[in-house]
């Protein structure tokens, strides 16, 4: 390289950076020159940190890129950059501050600075009033923690950061606390910090005085990511218009760049909203199970709910969270039921969700007298003839879900009154009442009227009505009495069946086809009478079931036999006609898990009024296999010419106006005579 080019080299930092990475030893002098230049500029910059320095900006990035080439000379560089950010983070120029953060990220990626010091500094920098910087730091923190734990969990680093973030959630700056909470939630969703400590740190945000932090923590546990609940000081957004309306509105008026940008922005927001609607809902069931003290958390959260002044939407989320805690962990929070009982009115906002929360908070360990008030309130306010059919059906569905979790909450008088709606004129009420009757046929048929109990089945005969906090503990598997006591007996039965089948096949053959050979047929003696026809007593069945359950290892085929046996018990003695309804009930029971769905409360059997789009869709679906609609009689020959009358329909009105006006005038008697004569002559000629 010539001397002329070498003199310009120190000022061309990108070129010098490239050469140093290729051969660090040959360009050490140039590097030291730039490093001294950086130190002098840094001292000047610290006198006025709010002023932008382009030279320092370029030097910091250059040194961060080549720091790994000179580790001895650059050992104090990361700490110097960190000190500048820590001292002047709020007063630094935005560009310089972003450059210093990027330099630290480069040094961290090269392994020249520990993760703890960098990440803790970045968490503190969430206090800066720079949205772009906060977004950049948020993305890097999540990706860096993910990379650290990608091969194996770094327990020491995770514990240190979790303890630090616990303090950050209590920070006076609400923006910093909210960003720290978002980091923890994102790490949990990516299965990086999916442990009990992370979940219990997030629970502390449920008691924050900042609405945004409170709502974010509640959404995490409730599993909703939509933006239904917004901050109180945020403005209400305009109603989202369809893309067609936006494009139609843009056609009118003067075309300007400002209007075009506004249109593009509106179309972009429309696409984002569509993507959000298509996104599947995720429920953090595991987070609810990882709580250390759910009883204390529910009590503390309920006290906050009673004294809070938040908006109704936020209160609704808190009620939902408390009901999930009580239902999943089977907690005792007796004051919760009178509290939610006050809101169970048909005119109440979101009353179906409140009914869902009431049912969700019930479980078998709650004393029935605490839930009886809720059931009676629903019956008095919803299940009355003064309400519409939908309201009554919703009330019956809510009562059914409550009684499914706590059967003893229903009294004999009330169930008999509600069963009278099984013949109601409204289909929704009728189906809801019958589902409630069907529920008590399985769990406690004694409180039903005789005509509502249905035909007795074997399953009902074996049913034991459980009292409060009682468990149905058995020492055997139900249905095992249908199996043989030994596996050898099963083989013998199979052989007997094969012999009988062989004898039947031989007897069905013609005499001409037989070769005259003897066929061995097993004949049962008088002592070998089939005892299967003799019904066994209850005690004998239980004894046999215990023997088989303790003496045999059941196979997959045996379990299939047990399932068929239990299904036969439930259907034996029932009318042949309720199979479809039984399948629907089995599907509902399979869907009913730890948490209830709102569709179980709003399960109204009624045709909804079609809107314009759905009505048009049904119309178009009915026209799929139908030929094209045409008016009037069709030609026998489609290629035949048209008449003048048909041609006149396609002409402009001014072309045929004179003919129409003449036709409308009143004809004289003489004109009618002439027209009649001409018509008769024409017909006579056509006959010839």
The DSSP code sequence of 588-604 is HHHH--SS--HHHHS--
Is residue 59 situated within a structural domain? yes
pLDDT band of 644, cuts 50, 70, 90? confident
> Is 635 within a domain?
no
Q: What is the pLDDT of residue 611?
A: 75
Instruction: List all residues 6 or more positions away from 547 whose beta carbon is below 8 Å from its beta carbon.
Output: 485
Q: How many domains does the chain have?
A: 3
Helix (H) or strand (E) holding 60: helix 54-66
**Do residues 441 and 454 lie in contact, with contact meaning Cβ atoms separated by under 8 Å?**
yes
Say yes or no to pLDDT of 305 above 90.
yes
As a whole number, mean pLDDT of residues 517-524 equals 43
Task: Find out whether 212 and 177 touch, Cβ atoms under 8 Å.
Answer: no
User: Domain end: 403, 431, 461, which one?
Assistant: 461
| Residues in Cβ contact with 17 at an 8 Å cutoff, skipping those fewer than 6 apart | 62, 65, 66
Q: How confident is the model at residue 89 (pLDDT cuts 50, 70, 90)?
A: confident
Q: Do residue 181 and residue 59 come from a single domain?
A: no
Three-state SS letters, 454-465: CCCCHHHHCCCC
- pTM value is 0.67
pLDDT at 528: 39
Contact of 400 with 435, CB cutoff 8 Å: yes
Claim to verify: residue 440 and residue 346 sit in the same structural domain: yes
Q: What is the DSSP letter of 478?
A: T
* 169 and 206 share one domain: yes
Element at 177 (helix H, strand E): helix 174-189
User: For residue 323, what pLDDT is reported?
Assistant: 95
Domain boundary among 90, 113, 136: 113
Cα 193 to Cα 166: distance, rounded to the nearest angstrom: 14
String of DSSP letters for 209-260? SSHHHHHHHHHHHHT--S--S--TTSPPPPPPPPHHHHHHHHHSS---HHHH
Asked if the structure places residue 321 within a domain, the reply is no
**pLDDT grade, residue 98 (50/70/90)?**
very high
CB atoms within 10 A of CB 303: 12
Q: The tokens 């009902």 sit on which residue?
A: 460
- Among 246-255, 366-375, 502-511, 645-654, the range scoring the smallest mean pLDDT is 502-511
Average pLDDT, integer, range 111-125: 90
Asked whether residue 62 falls in the same domain as residue 209, the answer is no
| More confident site: 5 or 627 | 627
643 compared with 125, residue with greater pLDDT = 125
Alpha carbon separation from 55 to 41, 62, 320, 444 (Å, rounded): 8, 11, 56, 84
- Cα–Cα–Cα angle for 447, 453, 456, rounded to 5 degrees: 120
* Distance (Å, whole) CA 338 – CA 334: 8
Q: Which two tokens stand for residue 349?
A: 């906002």
Instruction: Please indicate, yes or no, whether residues 60 and 106 belong to a single structural domain of this protein.
Output: yes
Do 215 and 317 contact (CB within 8 A), yes or no? yes
pLDDT at position 10, please? 64
Residue 401's H or E segment, with its range, is: helix 389-405
**Position 250 confidence tier, pLDDT thresholds 50, 70, 90:** low
Same domain (yes/no): 154, 177: yes
Lowest mean pLDDT of 299-308, 309-318, 658-667, name the range: 658-667
Say which DSSP state 454 is in.
-
Yes or no: say if 330 and 365 are a contact pair by the CB < 8 Å rule.
yes
247-252: average pLDDT: 71
Q: What is the mean pLDDT of residues 623-651?
A: 75
pLDDT recorded at residue 6: 47
Q: Is residue 205's pLDDT more than 80?
A: yes
Tokens of 451: 């005509």
- Same domain assignment for residues 69 and 118: no
Residue 593 confidence (pLDDT) above 70 = no
Over 70: is that where the pLDDT of 624 sits? yes
For residue 161, give the H/E element and its range: helix 155-168
As a whole number, mean pLDDT of residues 469-481 equals 73
Confidence band (pLDDT; 50, 70, 90) for 335?
A: very high
Q: Between the CA atoms of 311, 315, 317 and 319, what dihedral angle is there, to the nearest 10 degrees?
A: -170
| 6 token code pair | 């070498």
pLDDT for 558: 79
Window from 289-293, 311-315, 373-377, 602-606 with minimum mean pLDDT: 602-606
Residue 74 included in any domain = yes
Count Cα atoms within 13 angstroms, Cβ side, for 364: 10
3-state secondary structure of 301: helix
- pLDDT at position 230 is 40
Cα(215)–Cα(219) distance, rounded to whole angstroms? 6
107/126 same-domain check? no
Residue 260 pLDDT class (50, 70, 90 cuts): confident
The per-residue pLDDT for 485 is: 61
Q: Is residue 554 classed as helix, strand or coil in its secondary structure? A: coil
The lowest-confidence range among 79-93, 163-177, 389-403, 528-542 is 528-542
- Evaluate if residue 133 carries a pLDDT over 90: yes
Report the helix count and the strand count for the chain, using DSSP H and E: 33, 0
Residues 39 and 173 in one domain: no
432 part of a folded domain = yes
Residue 674 placed within a domain: no
Same domain flag for 223 and 120:
yes
Residue 165 sits in a domain of what CATH number?
A: 1.25.10
Q: What is the pLDDT of residue 571?
A: 61
Q: Are residues 171 and 302 in the same domain?
A: yes
Please, are residues 340 and 358 in contact by the beta-carbon 8 Å criterion? yes
Domain residues for the domain of 56 are: 1-113
Rounded Cα–Cα distance for residues 252 and 255 (Å): 8
In a domain, 610, yes or no: no
Integer Cα distance of 81 and 72 in angstroms = 17
Q: Is residue 563 part of a domain?
A: no
Reading the block at residue 648, the tokens are 């006149």
Considering only CA atoms, which of 365, 464, 460, 450 is closest in space to residue 408?
Answer: 365
- Domain boundary among the residues 430, 461, 492 is at 461
Q: What band does 381 get if pLDDT is binned at 50, 70 and 90?
A: very high
Q: Tell me, what's the pLDDT at 281?
A: 42
Which among 171, 163, 168, 115 is positioned nearest to 143, based on CA atoms?
Answer: 115
Q: Is the model's pLDDT at 605 over the cut of 70?
A: no
**396 and 291 assigned to the same domain:** no
Confidence of residue 264 (pLDDT cuts 50, 70, 90): confident
Q: Which two tokens stand for residue 98?
A: 């972003």
- For residue 229, what pLDDT band results from cuts at 50, 70 and 90? very low
Quote the pLDDT of residue 301. Answer: 95
Question: Residue 670 and residue 673: Cα distance in Å, rounded?
Answer: 5
Helix (H) or strand (E) holding 581: helix 579-591
Rounded to an integer, the average pLDDT of 549-562 is 78
Asked if pLDDT for residue 58 goes beyond 80, the answer is yes
pLDDT higher at 605 or 124 = 124
The chain-wide mean pLDDT, for the chain, equals 80
Inform me whether the pLDDT recorded for 548 exceeds 90: no
């Amino acid at each position: 390289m010539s001397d002329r080019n070498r003199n310009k080299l120190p000022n061309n930092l990108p070129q010098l950076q490239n050469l140093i990475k290729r051969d660090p030893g040959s360009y050490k002098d140039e590097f030291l020159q730039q490093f001294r230049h950086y130190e002098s500029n840094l001292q000047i910059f610290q006198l006025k940190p709010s002023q932008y320095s382009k030279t320092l900006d370029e030097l910091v990035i250059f040194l961060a890129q080549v720091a790994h080439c000179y580790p001895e000379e650059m050992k104090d560089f990361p700490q110097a950059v960190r000190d500048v950010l820590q001292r002047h983070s709020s007063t630094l120029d935005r560009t310089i501050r972003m450059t210093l953060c990027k330099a630290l990220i480069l040094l961290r990626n090269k392994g020249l600075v520990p993760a703890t010091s960098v990440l803790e500094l970045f968490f503190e920098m969430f206090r800066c009033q720079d949205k772009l910087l906060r977004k950049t730091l948020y993305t890097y923190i999540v990706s860096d923690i993910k990379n650290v734990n990608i091969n194996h969990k770094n327990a020491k680093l995770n514990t240190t950061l979790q303890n630090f973030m616990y303090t950050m959630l209590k920070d006076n700056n609400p923006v910093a606390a909210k960003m720290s909470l978002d980091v923890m939630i994102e790490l949990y969703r990516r299965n990086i910090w999916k442990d009990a400590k992370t979940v219990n740190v997030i629970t502390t945000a449920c008691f924050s005085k900042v609405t945004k932090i409170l709502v974010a923590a509640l959404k995490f546990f409730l599993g909703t990511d939509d933006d239904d609940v917004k901050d109180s000081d945020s403005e209400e957004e305009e109603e989202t218009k369809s893309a067609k309306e936006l494009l139609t509105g843009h056609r009118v008026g003067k075309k300007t760049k400002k209007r075009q940008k506004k249109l593009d922005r509106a179309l972009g927001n429309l696409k984002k909203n569509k993507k959000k609607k298509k996104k599947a809902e995720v429920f953090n069931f595991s987070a609810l199970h990882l709580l250390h003290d759910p009883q204390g958390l529910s009590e503390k959260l309920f006290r906050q709910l009673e004294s809070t002044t938040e908006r109704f939407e936020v209160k609704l989320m808190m009620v939902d969270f408390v009901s999930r805690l009580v239902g999943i962990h089977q907690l005792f929070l007796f004051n919760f039921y009178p509290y939610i009982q006050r809101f169970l009115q048909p005119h109440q906002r979101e009353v179906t969700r409140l009914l869902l929360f009431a049912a969700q908070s019930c479980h078998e360990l709650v004393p029935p007298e605490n839930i009886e008030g809720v059931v009676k309130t629903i019956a008095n306010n919803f299940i009355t003839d003064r309400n519409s059919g939908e309201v009554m059906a919703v009330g019956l569905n809510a009562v059914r879900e409550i009684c499914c979790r706590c059967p003893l909450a229903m009294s004999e008088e009330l169930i008999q009154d509600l069963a009278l709606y099984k013949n109601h004129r409204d289909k929704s009420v009728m189906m809801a009442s019958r589902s409630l009757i069907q529920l008590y046929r399985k769990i406690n048929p004694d409180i039903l009227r005789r005509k509502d109990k249905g035909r007795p089945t074997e399953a009902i005969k074996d049913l034991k009505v459980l009292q409060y906090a009682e468990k149905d503990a058995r020492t055997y598997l139900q249905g095992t009495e249908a199996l043989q006591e030994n596996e050898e007996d099963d083989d013998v039965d199979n052989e007997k069946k094969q012999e009988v089948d062989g004898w039947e096949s031989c007897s069905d053959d013609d005499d001409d086809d037989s070769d005259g050979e003897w066929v061995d047929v097993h004949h049962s003696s008088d002592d070998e009478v089939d005892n299967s026809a003799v019904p066994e007593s209850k005690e004998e069945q239980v004894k046999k079931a215990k023997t088989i359950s303790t003496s045999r290892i059941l196979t997959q085929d045996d379990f299939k036999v047990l399932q068929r046996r239990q299904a036969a018990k439930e259907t034996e003695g029932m009318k042949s006609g309720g199979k479809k309804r039984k399948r629907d009930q089995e599907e509902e029971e399979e869907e009913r898990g730890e948490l209830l769905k709102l569709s179980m409360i709003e399960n109204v059997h009624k045709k909804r009024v079609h809107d314009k789009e759905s009505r048009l869709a049904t119309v178009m679906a009915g026209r799929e296999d139908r030929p094209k609609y045409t008016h009037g009689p069709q030609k026998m020959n489609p290629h035949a010419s048209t008449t003048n009358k048909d041609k006149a329909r396609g002409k402009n009105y001014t072309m045929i106006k004179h003919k129409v006006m003449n036709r409308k005038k009143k004809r004289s008697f003489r004109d009618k005579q002439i027209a009649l004569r001409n018509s008769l002559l024409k017909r006579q000629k056509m006959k010839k």
